[in-house]
Amino acid sequence: MAHTSFPDDLPVPKDDGQYDHLTSGFRIPTDISLPVARDPSNKVVLANLPGLTILFIYPRTGAPNEKIPDSWNETPGARGCTPQACSFRDNFSQLRSLGVTAVYGISTQSPAYQAEVHARLRLPYDLLSDEDLTFQQTLHLPTFEWNDTKVLKRSMIAVEGGLIVKWWYPVFPPDRGVDDLVEWLKGR
């Protein structure tokens, strides 16, 4: 099972205000570095990235042949991580042409798990692991518990010169976020 689609009747996540503290101009701390899935010895310092960087944050991608339990589908905002990642893959060239310097996907899954996802989905951008919740805790990003594991709620953040310039939360449907991003980029 590829998990590249999702049911039409997923519950819609509500904006619970958990991103309101990230005002435009919020500076990403320079001590946050996240390992790149394909090479965990390589760490990305988000505050030092040049140009406009888009971070899409997602709960978790399913493994090949993993049966998605009903309880995951019933959790608002949980389902759709693979379609979200694929929407960024499929629109990567357009994002670059609209001025995006880099795109990163961030989850709390391990770099090894993310490396498999990166290869399987043939992603043209890197995935970063916040397995230790450093990024989440420093920015106070919203989470939920899944099978005794804390996972990030789905969102997107635009960072330019180390400053947050825009965020989207919640992102729903999961594969629509890239369309909202393109609309924003065209209006800049």
More confident residue, 54 or 73: 54
Cα distance between residue 27 and residue 95, in whole Å: 23
81-104 pLDDT, tens per residue? 888 999 999 999 999 999 999 999
pLDDT at position 5 is 61
Q: What is the mean pLDDT of residues 46-51?
A: 94
124-173 pLDDT, tens per residue? 999 999 999 999 999 999 998 888 889 999 999 999 999 999 999 999 98
Cα distance between residue 55 and residue 168, in whole Å: 10
Cα distance between residue 171 and residue 155, in whole Å: 5
Q: What is the mean pLDDT of residues 15-37?
A: 94
Confidence of residue 1 (pLDDT cuts 50, 70, 90): very low
Q: What is the mean pLDDT of residues 49-63?
A: 92
**87: which DSSP letter?**
H
Q: Is the dihedral of CA 166, 185, 123, 43 positive or negative?
A: negative
pLDDT at position 121 is 96
Q: Helix, strand, coil: what percent of the chain each, to 5?
A: 30, 25, 45
Q: What pTM was estimated for this model as a whole?
A: 0.92
Q: What is the mean pLDDT of residues 55-72?
A: 84
Burial string for 120-157 (b: 16+ CB within 10 Å, else e) reads ebebebbbbbbbeeebbeebebbbeebeeeebbbbbbb
Residue ranges in the chain assigned as alpha helix (H): 70-73, 81-90, 92-97, 111-121, 134-139, 177-187
By DSSP bridging, strand 149-152 and strand 143-146 are antiparallel
By DSSP bridging, strand 100-107 and strand 52-57 are parallel
